Amino acid sequence: MRPLLLILPGLFLFLFFNLWPIIYSIYISFTNANIRNFPPPPPWAPEELKQARPPPDFVGLANYVSIFIGPASPGFLNAIIWTLIFTAISVPTKIALGVFLGLLMSSEKVLGKSIMRTLLIVPWALPLILSVVAWRYIFDPTYGVVNQILYTIGVSKPPDWFVDKDYAYMAMVVIETWLAYPFIMTVVMGALANIPRAAFEAAEIDGAGRWAIFTKITLPLIKRPLIYATVMTTAASLQFFLVAFLWNFIQLYDRFMLTYGYYWAFGSPFREYGLAAAILTISAFLISIFMVLAIRISGLMRGMYES
């Protein structure tokens, strides 16, 4: 009984700050909540205000139907497709870069590894807003380093990475790779630290090349941590939001699932909160399905509860 009493305060805070907002958002998705009726006036408000601003009505599955066959359907399906494309491009890129750097920083032949490791995890340590500001300067259409290089090599009219939707989308891939590779690199270095050096030395004595050692020894031994890192970073790519929001939300709102839901809540003329909640609920459901399938297929939980 005493342990239960000790965990009750923490359990209450968890339910209040985590579970309750989720339940309330799902409830809103079944209403016609918008800027004209939400939030409703408090109970102590004057009766005139309550009559002028009635509470949202329950509309059932109307918002969900609208997502698939209504005015929001083309944009949401487009956002899903572009989110999947973004994930398919960014995940292999950051996995490849993270694995390469992890192998490099685990090599005994590299000098100054402690300093290089510190520099390589800078993207992980910096506040996200500061990172985006730095990248905005790098991609600045007039003074940015990227466009200066493009102009130097003969591109007479470098792209506007903020206004042009496709180029802004390409910039998101670059920034996401830069932000995520330290996580992959750290996982790989941690996995390699637990592999006995004798395995590599024996392979070298047998005449195995670098590629053979990587594919036959290194990769199988770090496979489980690498699968975990891949699943986590894929889920992060599916939830991509803040960088696009800080970069240029107007241009990228229909390229990602979460930014599209945010648009209907805070960018549309009447701020359709109910529709936005439905979009974000479906997005969370799709991401949850991916996580469950990825964990089951990869077998990450296998053996966890075995004695």
Is 190 a domain residue? yes
3-state helix, strand, coil in the chain (%, to 5): 70, 0, 25
Alpha carbon distance 257, 238 (integer Å): 8
The answer to the question of residue 8 being in a domain is no
Q: Is residue 133 part of a domain?
A: yes
Cα separation, 30 vs 56, in Å, equals 10
The residues that bridge with 58 in the sheet, in sequence order, are 31
Residues of the chain with pLDDT under 70: 1, 301-307
The candidate with the shortest Cα–Cα distance to 184, out of 88, 135, 255, 120, is: 120
Q: Does 105 fall in a domain?
A: yes
Residue 170 lies in a domain: yes
pLDDT tens sequence across 119-145 = 888 888 888 889 999 999 999 998 899
Within-domain flag for 150: yes
Number of structural domains (the chain) is 1
Say if residue 65 is exposed, middle or buried (CB neighbours under 10 Å; 0-12, 13-18, 19+). Answer: middle
CATH number where 196 lies: 1.10.3720.10
In a domain, 213, yes or no: yes
Q: Residue 28 sits in which domain range?
A: 22-298
Transcribe 108-171 into DSSP letters: TT-TTHHHHHHHHTHHHHS-HHHHHHHHHHHT-TTT-HHHHHHHHTT-SS---TTT-HHHHHHH
Residue 247 lies in a domain: yes
**Residue 306: predicted pLDDT:** 46
pLDDT of 242:
92
Q: How high is the pLDDT of residue 54? A: 82
